[in-house]
Amino acid sequence: MAEILLSLTIIGVVAAITLPSLTGNINERTWNTQRKALYARMSQAISLMPALNGYGTLTEDESGSVTEDTAAETFITSGLSKVLKINNICDNEHLADCGIISKITTIGGEQLAVPKDMSTLNSGMTMSGSNGVNTTSTINTKAAAFETQNGESILVFYNPHCLGSLQETPWGGGNGYYIQNKVCANFVYDLNGNKGPNTVGKDIGFMTAMYPSDAKLAAPQPAANEASANSLGSDAAKVCTNYANNEYRLPNIDEGISMFVNKNFLSGSLNNAYWTSDRITQNGETRMLLIIIRNGDRAGQVDDLLPSSERPVWCVKR
């Protein structure tokens, strides 16, 4: 009997040590599978929509204050619901009815109140300004939400006046250009609704739809922090390949834009311009594109630099 009790005790200790790790691995695999399936469904839905701009009503008074805002809700009801199976749609006053939780844990471990409008999502998205090449968006729309038939809760931020592709705007030749008005819709999803851990990179993630026609949907899974604080552009891809067991890659420009829009869900100072994998040719020279992500009321821009220049690297998961 003593030997049996000792064996059971040993088994219990081993189980207590290994069970959390096994459970965590199972959850990670489940979330990854759900995430990929959701991205596939959302990508197909976005591609089937005739255009991503022009939905809803956005009325401003003489002072510029919005007096009527049905943009995000109408985008869901009149747009997405026609091409995506949706169970429930919630306006800005009833987001919890669609399973939207009140707080999210960021990649960096901070508690963040769930934003309810574009300005709270990222104040840089509604900052007014121009650098002579392009102008930032000044639209501050209220968020709406919906639940999918698969049980995901999705918070939607919408810009009804989004513009055409990046390629339609000349590169800034070092001065860059703003990307805010290229963003049509931003989605913050929760794979399991009110259940935990409600953490970005686990059951919480984000996707960004850009350009009203020939739209692209980016869904980066950023690393927990910078892979390198200072790296040559020519080495940036290698930095990501060597980061965390070869699970990460250098983001493309669309993924970089999505990271800017959702920068408050990331971690670190975010006070730099980060390399992307996209390249252009100017005056016979190959240049790599940078996405500029900054703290506070700073705009998101795209700049270009020679691969021999040094800038930080922030990788995304494969």
| Residue at a domain's end among 218, 250, 283 | 218
Give percent of the chain with pLDDT exceeding 90. Answer: 60
For 91, phi and psi rounded to 5 degrees? -80, 180
Q: Is the pLDDT of residue 249 over 90?
A: yes
Q: Is the pLDDT of residue 168 over 70?
A: no
Average per-residue pLDDT in the chain? 86
Q: Is the pLDDT of residue 131 over 90?
A: no
Please check whether residues 313 and 201 belong to one and the same domain: no
Please check whether residues 128 and 175 belong to one and the same domain: yes
Domain count across the chain: 2
Give me the pLDDT at residue 61, please. Answer: 65
Please check whether residues 186 and 44 belong to one and the same domain: yes
In a domain? residue 78: yes
Name the band, by pLDDT with cuts 50, 70 and 90, for residue 57: confident
Q: What are the tens digits of pLDDT across the range 171-205?
A: 554 456 788 888 999 999 999 988 889 999 999 99
Q: Are 239 and 251 in contact (CB under 8 A)?
A: no
Give me the pLDDT at residue 31, please. Answer: 93
Q: Are 209 and 187 in contact (CB under 8 A)?
A: yes
Please check whether residues 206 and 300 belong to one and the same domain: no
Structure tokens at 71: 């943009």
In a domain? residue 9: no
CA 38/CA 219 separation, integer angstroms: 10
Please check whether residues 114 and 242 belong to one and the same domain: no
Give me the pLDDT at residue 220, please. Answer: 96
Please check whether residues 128 and 195 belong to one and the same domain: yes
Please check whether residues 109 and 156 belong to one and the same domain: yes
pLDDT (mean) for 307-318: 94
Please check whether residues 145 and 267 belong to one and the same domain: no
Q: What are the tens digits of pLDDT across the range 97-116?
A: 999 999 999 998 999 999 99
Reduced to 3 states, what is the DSSP secondary structure of residue 59? strand
In a domain? residue 28: yes
Please check whether residues 126 and 211 belong to one and the same domain: yes
User: Domain of 256?
Assistant: 228-317
Give me the pLDDT at residue 230, please. Answer: 93
In a domain? residue 11: no
Q: What are the tens digits of pLDDT across the range 4-37?
A: 766 666 666 555 555 454 455 667 888 999 999 9
Q: What are the tens digits of pLDDT across the range 264-295?
A: 999 876 778 999 999 988 788 898 999 988 76
In a domain? residue 12: no
**Higher model confidence: residue 5 or residue 259?**
259
In a domain? residue 101: yes
Q: Which of 272, 269, 273, 278 is nearest to 249 (CA)?
A: 278
Please check whether residues 194 and 260 belong to one and the same domain: no
In a domain? residue 5: no
The angle at the Cα of 51, spanning 50 to 57, to the nearest 5 degrees, equals 125
Q: Are 217 and 43 in contact (CB under 8 A)?
A: yes
Please check whether residues 175 and 30 belong to one and the same domain: yes
Name the band, by pLDDT with cuts 50, 70 and 90, for residue 119: very high
Please check whether residues 233 and 148 belong to one and the same domain: no
The Cα-based distances of 88 to 77, 85, 253 in angstroms read 10, 10, 33
